[in-house]
Structure 1
């Protein structure tokens, strides 16, 4: 690779690292071209891109952007996963593929909003429920006390109405002329 090509590649990696909130590093040793193409397709479906990088150029870009936490993962054959959307969805897709092809694709680790994310944390992130499920759980958690409060107030008002009806009935019987 000529010096100009290297500088161009470093500039491109630097720009991608600056713009990506989440980056995962993988070891793709043993993946066939067909499997790599399938992986890229699955990741593309979740607004994520997979590129194979030269470690020396990626290390330089990581250092230039202050993303030094990525440096330990830039060893051996490395593919970087550039997450454009939801990091948990991308981690699910990557982890699912790594589970299908355990001897060929290994998740090394990555960065989540600039913070180091070891391999175990990427796997943990992949196990999280989807954003929609989490929002539904949050809504249910918020609504449960309100539902209980509404039921309690309904019972209180109903009890008050029954008590007032009983008092009114008692007064009517007291006011009624004796026969």
Structure 2
């Protein structure tokens, strides 16, 4: 690779590192081209990017951005999963894909909003239910609360109506 090409790639990497809130460094050793292509396709379906990088160029790109020092993790083959916002979706895809492909790719380290995430953190993140399920649970909780309040208010109004009726009967009897 010529110097101009290396500089261009380094600039592109720096830009991607700055623009994406979630970055997972992976080791894809043991995956054939077909599997890597399938992995990229799964990521692409969710609007995510996967990029294989040269470690030396990645180290240079990291010099230009405000991220933790990832150089200890830049050994062997390195692939980067980029997500602009949601760290859960790529973590889930990584876990599901690895489960089906002999635990490959392996997460080396993650960076979420500038904070390092261990492979264990990424695994736990993959177990978080999808956003829609969480929102459904919140909506169900709110609906149940509102239903409880409505029931309590209805009972209170019914009790007041019974009390008024009893007072009216008592006044008619007197």
TM-score normalised by L of structure 2: 0.92
Q: Decide whether the 8 Å contact of 2:21 with 2:85 is kept in 1.
A: no
Unpaired segments of 5 or more residues in structure 1? 175-179
| Alignment correspondent of 1:177 | none
Tell me what 1:99 maps to: 99
Report the CA distance between 1:84 and its aligned residue: 3.3
- What SS does structure 2 have at the residue aligned with 1:140? helix
Corresponding position: 1:126 with 2:126: yes
1:27 aligns with 2:34: no
Gaps of 5+ in 2: none
Indicate the SS of the match to 2:117.
Answer: strand
| Separation in structure 2 between the aligned mates of residue 134 and residue 88 of structure 1, nearest angstrom | 12
1:8 alignment partner in structure 2: 8
Partner of 2:81: 81
Please tell me whether the aligned partners of residues 47 and 85 of structure 1 are also in contact (alpha carbons under 8 angstroms): no
- Counterpart CA distance in 1 for 2:69 and 2:124 is 19
Q: What per-residue deviation string (whole Å, max 9, x for no partner) do you get for residues 105-140 of structure 1?
A: 211121111110110011111100111112222233
1:170 pairs with 2:170: yes
Change beyond 3 A, Cα 1:5–1:157: same
Task: Give 1:43's aligned residue.
Answer: 43
Deviation at 1:62, TM superposition (A): 1.4
Q: Is the 8 A contact 2:19 2:84 kept in 1?
A: no
Distance change (3 Å), C-alpha of 1:121 and 1:69: farther
Q: Give the structure with higher Rg (CA).
A: 1
Structure 2 CA distance for aligned equivalents of residues 72 and 157 of structure 1: 68
How many residue pairs are counted as aligned between the two chains? 174
